Amino acid sequence: MRHGPQVLVFPAYLNNAFLNLLELAPRADGFRVTGAHTFDDLVREARTLGEGDVLHLHWTTPIVQQAQSEADARRRLARIERLLGDVRGRGTRLVWTLHNRLPHELTFHDLEVRLYRLIAAHADAVHIMAPHTPEAVSDVVTLDPRTIRQIPHPSYEGVYDTSVTRGDARASFDIAGDDTAVLFLGQIRPYKGVDALATAAAAADARRENDVVLMLAGAVKEMPRAEFAASLPRDLRTATHLGFVDDADIARWFRAADVACFPYRSILNSGSVHLAATFHVPVILPGDPLLRRQFGDQPWVAFFDPADPEASIADLLADPALFEGLGPDDFEAFLAPIAPWEVSREYSALLTELSGRAA
161 part of a folded domain: no
Domain shared by 144 and 243, yes or no: no
208 part of a folded domain: yes
Q: Is 38 helix (H, G, I), strand (E, B) or coil?
A: coil
| Residue 1 reports pLDDT greater than 60 | no
Rounded-to-integer distance, Cα 18 and Cα 296, Å = 24
What's the pLDDT tens digit per position in 254-269?
999 999 999 988 788 8
Domain shared by 114 and 220, yes or no: no
- Inter-helix orientation angle 194-207/309-318, to 10°: 40
| DSSP assignments along 91-127, one per residue | T-EEEEE---SS-SS-S-HHHHHHHHHHHHHH-SEEE
Domain shared by 96 and 201, yes or no: no
159 part of a folded domain: no
What's the pLDDT tens digit per position in 183-236?
999 999 888 999 999 999 999 999 998 999 999 999 998 889 999 999 999 999
242 part of a folded domain: yes
Specify the pLDDT at position 155: 96
| Residue 15 reports pLDDT greater than 90 | no
Domain shared by 293 and 227, yes or no: yes
**Is the C-alpha dihedral spanning 222, 228, 232, 238 positive or negative?**
positive
| Residue 357 reports pLDDT greater than 70 | no
Rounded-to-integer distance, Cα 179 and Cα 201, Å = 12
How far CA 293 is from CA of 132, 188, 286, 333, in Å, comes to: 8, 26, 12, 17
Cα radius of gyration rounded to whole Å, the chain: 22
Average pLDDT of the segment spanning 317-322? 96
Domain shared by 201 and 124, yes or no: no
Q: Range of 235's domain? A: 166-336
> What total of structural domains would you count in the chain?
2
Domain shared by 178 and 277, yes or no: yes
Domain shared by 178 and 319, yes or no: yes
Domain shared by 131 and 174, yes or no: no
Percentage above 90 pLDDT, the chain: 89
What CATH number does the domain containing 20 carry?
3.40.50.2000
Domain shared by 302 and 350, yes or no: no
Specify the pLDDT at position 265: 81
Nearest to 51 by CA among 120, 4, 5: 5
- Find all residues with CB under 8 Å of 332, minimum gap 6, and list them: none
How far CA 12 is from CA of 29, 57, 288, in Å, comes to: 20, 9, 30
How far CA 190 is from CA of 68, 193, 223, 321, in Å, comes to: 23, 6, 9, 30
Domain shared by 137 and 100, yes or no: yes
Specify the pLDDT at position 3: 67
DSSP-derived secondary structure letter, 15: T
Domain shared by 170 and 260, yes or no: yes
Domain shared by 30 and 51, yes or no: yes
| Residue 359 reports pLDDT greater than 60 | no
222 part of a folded domain: yes
How far CA 199 is from CA of 149, 188, 254, 332, in Å, comes to: 40, 15, 21, 32
- Find all residues with CB under 8 Å of 37, minimum gap 6, and list them: 10, 11, 12, 13, 62
Q: At 138, is the pLDDT very low, low, confident or very high (cuts 50, 70, 90)?
A: very high
- Find all residues with CB under 8 Å of 198, minimum gap 6, and list them: 214, 216, 231, 232, 233, 236
